[in-house]
Amino acid sequence: MVNKIHHSSNCADCNCKASIFKNLTPLELELINSSRFQVSYKAGEIIFKQGTPSPYFVCVTSGLAKIYIEGYGKNLILSLIKPVDYIFGPGIYVDNRHYYSAAAVEDCSACLVDVSIFKNLIRQNPDFAEEFIKRVSLQSIFNFEQVISLTQKQMHGRIADVIFYLSDKIYCQNPFEMTISRQDLADLSGMSKESAIRILKEFKEEGILTIHGNTMEVLNTKQLRQISETG
């Protein structure tokens, strides 16, 4: 699962520090730097499993990962994680367990930081603490929108939402290469793989988008937005 562990370059040079770590002093950043591990995962490999102890804060530095809840027979993907984003579960302040699993969708590299160091920094640096709480809050807001999409929209609306998520938040370009599988698409939108495929087909037939190989292009954003909003 873990292919290679080594200390590479330095947190101070890493673009990760631009975001959540921006409020840390050089000394604090060095503390994180000195205790961190860099790890690579191949596509499909599991980063951690729901239910296991959670000693690390994970920072994804390249590739694409997914976090997902293993439910009753099927999975629900909560979100995709791209560089530079973080995987920290709610368990770290509760019982140190993971409440969801994480796996690499594309080949990934990530930095693992010891949770206790992380928690100490939250205690000693209020700006960092606020930034952390803000991140948690944003995650929470995202989850709310997702729940409403999943529970109150029907399949067409849900797929539309996922397509917007992919093009606007994950791949950030319009003709984009889908590196996730159809099953992942289904797990993101809470339906069966077959249903997801059928909806994509309909969208193609209606000229809303094209798919060639793994490349998807949204042609009619307006209509897709309409579908998203009318459920």
Partner DNA sequence: CGTAAGTGTTGATATATGTCAACCAAGAAT
Partner DNA sequence: ATTCTTGGTTGACATATATCAACACTTACG
Nearest-approach distance from CB 211 to a copy of itself, in angstroms = 26
Q: Which is nearer to DNA, 133 or 197 (CB)?
A: 197
> 52 is in the binding site of which of DNA, a copy of itself, none (Cβ under 5 to 8 A by kind)?
none
For residues 128 and 28, what is the distance between their CA atoms, to the nearest angstrom? 11
Nearest-approach distance from CB 33 to a copy of itself, in angstroms = 23
Contact with DNA (CB under 7 A) among 70, 127, 177, 194: 194
Count of residues touching DNA (by CB under 7 A): 18
The β-bridge partners of 58 are 87, 112
CA dihedral for 52, 19, 163, 214, sign (positive or negative): negative
Contact with DNA (CB under 7 A) among 156, 164, 219, 223: 156
- HSE of 111, CA atoms in CB hemisphere, 13 A: 22
**190 touching a copy of itself, by CB under 8 A:** yes
Q: Is 166 helix (H, G, I), strand (E, B) or coil?
A: helix
| 214: CB partners within 8 A, 6+ apart | 177, 178, 179
Residue 199 buriedness (CB in 10 A; 0-12 / 13-18 / 19+): buried
For residues 91 and 97, what is the distance between their CA atoms, to the nearest angstrom? 5
> 223 is in the binding site of which of DNA, a copy of itself, none (Cβ under 5 to 8 A by kind)?
none
Contact with DNA (CB under 7 A) among 77, 191, 209, 216: 191
Q: Which residues bind DNA (CB under 7 A)?
A: 73, 154-156, 181-183, 190-195, 197-198, 200-201, 211
Q: Which residues bind a copy of itself (CB under 8 A)?
A: 69, 71-74, 76, 78, 90-94, 99-100, 119, 122-124, 126, 129-130, 132-134, 136-141, 143-144, 146-148, 150-153, 190, 231
